[in-house]
Amino acid sequence: LSGKHTEKPIVLYHHGSRKGAEAWDFLTGFSGYLHCDQYPGYLRLSQQDVTLVGCMAHARRKFHDSLPKDKTRESDATSVANQGIYYCNQMFSLDAWEDLSVEERYEKRQSELKPLLEKFSDWCSKKSISVLPSGKLGTAFQYCIKHMDKFMNVLKDGRLELSNNKAERAVKEIVMGRKNWLFSQSGTGA
């Protein structure tokens, strides 16, 4: 799926499988930015002239998943997991510059989003040492620390986005229907 600030948007729904080789084959010769969820199959693409851009919605979801199931978010607003969610929410609220030009959005990100991303990165590094790495919160921190360079790539171009939710919503129908179509006699019938 092309970005929302593209002149000629495209959506590609079918590509054989989710194997990393599919992305590698399809994007051979491509240079530019690729928003992705850090699925390991995409990481090989950084060997080409492809800049991977991380998805902050995935980072936020990891912190959300680490919240205890028996507590609501409001009841423990000071928990470390909620602090991670708060950082992500701040980034999304800051990046609501839809009416700005690409250049203006780039400048706003440099002046406002970059310091927040850097603060989030420092916070993740400091807090990660006080949690078990194998727990859900530890997993959230490890994900953020491991992919922080890809989250920072959103600062490189005003056309980029903080999340790849738009692409994920585009394929949601296919993902939801996959089991329903499993027993179809043909691809056309499915």
Q: Is residue 119 part of a domain?
A: yes
Instruction: Give the per-residue pLDDT at 97.
Output: 83
Q: Which domain holds residue 94?
A: 20-177
Q: Is residue 54 part of a domain?
A: yes
Q: What is the pLDDT of residues 67-120, one digit of tens each?
A: 987 655 555 667 999 999 999 999 999 878 888 898 999 999 999 999 999 999
User: What is the number of structural domains in the chain?
Assistant: 1
Instruction: Give the per-residue pLDDT at 169.
Output: 62
Q: Is residue 189 part of a domain?
A: no
**Range 6-13, long-range pairs (CB < 8 A, 24+ positions):** 6/159, 11/170, 13/170, 13/171, 13/174
For residues 117 and 5, the model is more confident at: 117
| pLDDT(13) > 60 | no
Instruction: Give the per-residue pLDDT at 58.
Output: 92
Q: What is the pLDDT of residues 22-53, one digit of tens each?
A: 777 877 888 888 888 887 877 777 777 889 89
Q: Is residue 38 part of a domain?
A: yes
Q: Is residue 12 part of a domain?
A: no
Q: Is residue 148 part of a domain?
A: yes
| pLDDT(166) > 90 | no
Q: Is residue 184 part of a domain?
A: no
Q: Is residue 1 part of a domain?
A: no
- Encoding tokens for residue 173? 């129908």
Q: For the chain, give percent helix, strand, coil, nearest 5.
A: 55, 5, 40
